[in-house]
Amino acid sequence: MPILDLTSDASSALSIALIDPDDLRREEVAGVLRGFHGMSVRKYASFPDDLCGLPVMLEQHYDAVLIGLDSAPERAFDVVEGLCADHSTTLMVYTAQNNLELAIRFMRAGAREYLTLPLLQAELADALDRVSTHRLETPQSRKIPKKLFVFLGSKGGSGVTTLASNFAVSLAQESGDRTLLIDLGLPLGDAALNLGMTVEYSTANAFEDSSRLDSNFLRSLLAKHGSGLSVLPAPSEFSSHLATKEAIDKLLAIARQSFAYVVVDAGSRVDLMDTSIFGESAIVYLITQVGVTELRNSNRLITQFFAARGRKLQIVLNRYMPHALLFDEKQITKALTRPALWKIPDDYATARRINNRATPIALADTPISNVIRQMARTACGMSAIPEKKKGFSLFGRKKDPLPGNRSFLEVAEQE
Ligand SMILES: Nc1ncnc2c1ncn2[C@@H]1O[C@H](COP(=O)(O)OP(=O)(O)O)[C@@H](O)[C@H]1O
Ligand SMILES: [Mg+2]
């Protein structure tokens, strides 16, 4: 007999992801959840290997995530901490242990509900009620991810434009969502040039009279790439006019209203640090090569500006050649204060071919494009590598009605 009936308003049906490697426990909890009407439950039999894109995927598809702690408490803690750092996912945990310290630890990490087994229907009903109320208070948060990705170089020539423009093409293609690339490179940007696009307008038009700027005006300035990506290029003529912080903030706010994903080529512009481009919600990709100056600059950037950014700073080693380096991995990690998350191989032949023909690397099948595609897929909450190459379901895979693939095992509901 359902205690909480959510079917009265179909749009209010809750969707829950249930993650627990312990088959018995997972089924026990799924059984209790089945007692509620209007609830869709997806079960996962493992924790994800890669936490990077997980918040976006979960935020997009589920109202809440329910995690079983007991089979791997430390792994569960990493997942809870990772998801809660993003502030977007409603997280509930359950355990059979009556342990106050454990409860405090998980609540501090951000879990909204801490439930103990055996799960009482009334207790779960209260918790779900709170999730439901929270969702009604933030109705837009689940449907539209509105992510901002900012590419910053430790030095001119690090590869920011190459990576930002191809990442944006890949993101537009892989996600199928509205994606915009804004080129803030100075003095002359070359993102559009790199993508082989002829353009009419640029950021100069957007900044010229920023009081006129609204979503229609912005749309009229954009160029469209064949991949579906929209581009606001940098000016192709030198200009002494520098955009104000207010103008940049306004452009970004309008861009984020109209697009699910906004990618910014920030060149090596540390002067943008006070703008909303580097606001808390941005995911910053710091692009660096392994050289004395680049690593020194990266160290200063990370310690001065990004020390508290956690997973929202992702370090990318570009033109990486493991066997021809002046520094070993340990020295690189020390300079960067943390390990680099992405390594893009040095591929002179592809880069030259691409530069000459102005076709995006992202559309080719090369070592560079493969890593860029993995970055883009992770960014929009898909598994880094398409599902056919990895992963399996415990009971055979159920057809997934949602876009994107899970990076962890989904257990199909047995009829
Ligand atoms: N992974 C790579 N392998 C080989 N060449 C690269 C790679 N990444 C970038 N390049 C080349 O390095 C040069 C500088 O890249 P660019 O993206 O313009 O840097 P930035 O925007 O940081 O100044 C370009 O000629 C580009 O083709
Ligand atoms: Mg550039």
- Condensed to tens digits (0 to 9), the pLDDT of residues 257-275 reads 889 999 999 999 999 999 9
Q: Which ligand has the nearest atom to the CA of 316?
A: 1
What is the structure's pLDDT at 393? 31
Pocket test for ligand 1, best of 150, 160, 162 (most atoms within 8 A of CB): 162
Using an 8 Å Cβ cutoff, are 12 and 6 in contact?
A: yes
- d(CA 128, CA 145) in angstroms, rounded, equals 23
Number of helical H runs and strand E runs in the chain:
14, 14
What is the structure's pLDDT at 2? 32
- d(CA 36, CA 8) in angstroms, rounded, equals 12
What is the structure's pLDDT at 132? 73
What is the structure's pLDDT at 156? 94
**Around 249, how many Cα atoms within 13 Å sit in the side-chain half-sphere?**
8
Q: Helix 348-357 crosses helix 367-379 at what angle (to 10 degrees)?
A: 80
Look at residues 409, 302, 413 and name the one whose alpha carbon lies nearest to residue 21: 409
Q: Which ligand has the nearest atom to the CA of 320?
A: 1
Average pLDDT for residues 174-190, to the nearest whole number?
A: 90
What's the CA-to-centroid distance between 159 and ligand 2, angstroms?
Answer: 7
Topology of the domain comprising 10-142+386-411: Rossmann fold (3.40.50)
Q: In the numeric block, which tokens belong to residue 189?
A: 């940007």
Ligand 1: lining residues by beta carbon, under 6 Å: 153, 156-162, 267, 318-319, 344, 346-348, 351, 355, 368
Residue 71 has pLDDT above 70, yes or no: yes
Look at residues 372, 375, 376 and name the one whose alpha carbon lies nearest to residue 354: 372
Residue 53 has pLDDT above 90, yes or no: no
- d(CA 260, CA 273) in angstroms, rounded, equals 23
Ligand 1 nearest-atom number relative to CA 268:
22
Average pLDDT for residues 55-63, to the nearest whole number?
A: 69
Measured by CA distance, the residue closest to atom 27 of ligand 1 is: 351
pTM greater than the 0.75 cutoff:
no
Give 223's strand partners.
Answer: 231
- d(CA 224, CA 258) in angstroms, rounded, equals 15
Residue 142 has pLDDT above 60, yes or no: no
pLDDT grade for 10, boundaries at 50, 70 and 90: very low
Q: Delimit the domains of the chain by residue range.
A: 10-142+386-411, 147-379
Q: In the numeric block, which tokens belong to residue 399?
A: 């057809």
Lowest mean pLDDT among 124-128, 183-187, 379-383, 395-399: 395-399
Average pLDDT for residues 386-397, to the nearest whole number?
A: 40
Mean pLDDT for the chain overall: 82
What is the structure's pLDDT at 145? 54
Q: Strand, coil or helix: what is 289? A: coil
Lowest mean pLDDT among 146-150, 240-244, 255-259, 389-393: 389-393
346 compared with 382, residue with greater pLDDT: 346
What's the CA-to-centroid distance between 368 and ligand 2, angstroms?
Answer: 17
What's the CA-to-centroid distance between 41 and ligand 1, angstroms?
Answer: 45
Ligand 1 nearest-atom number relative to CA 354:
27
- d(CA 405, CA 415) in angstroms, rounded, equals 23
What is the structure's pLDDT at 399? 31
Q: Classify burial at 102, counting beta carbons within 10 Å of its beta carbon; exposed 0-12, middle 13-18, buried 19 or more.
A: middle
What's the CA-to-centroid distance between 288 and ligand 2, angstroms?
Answer: 13
Residue 61 has pLDDT above 50, yes or no: yes
- d(CA 332, CA 225) in angstroms, rounded, equals 36
User: Does 147-379 match 10-142+386-411 at the fold level?
Assistant: yes
In angstroms, what CA-CA distances link 65 with 28, 102, 127, 274? Answer: 16, 18, 12, 35
65 compared with 58, residue with greater pLDDT: 65
Q: In the numeric block, which tokens belong to residue 226?
A: 């064949």
Considering just the CA atoms, what is the radius of gyration of the chain in Å? 23
In angstroms, what CA-CA distances link 59 with 89, 177, 246? Answer: 6, 15, 30
- d(CA 152, CA 284) in angstroms, rounded, equals 7
Lowest mean pLDDT among 147-151, 167-171, 211-215, 346-350: 346-350
What's the CA-to-centroid distance between 191 and ligand 2, angstroms?
Answer: 7
What's the CA-to-centroid distance between 184 and ligand 2, angstroms?
Answer: 9
In angstroms, what CA-CA distances link 316 with 82, 84, 182, 335, 365? Answer: 20, 24, 20, 13, 20
pLDDT grade for 391, boundaries at 50, 70 and 90: very low
Residue 1 has pLDDT above 90, yes or no: no
Topology of the domain comprising 147-379: Rossmann fold (3.40.50)
Give 286's strand partners.
Answer: 152, 315
Average pLDDT for residues 109-137, to the nearest whole number?
A: 82
Measured by CA distance, the residue closest to atom 12 of ligand 1 is: 159
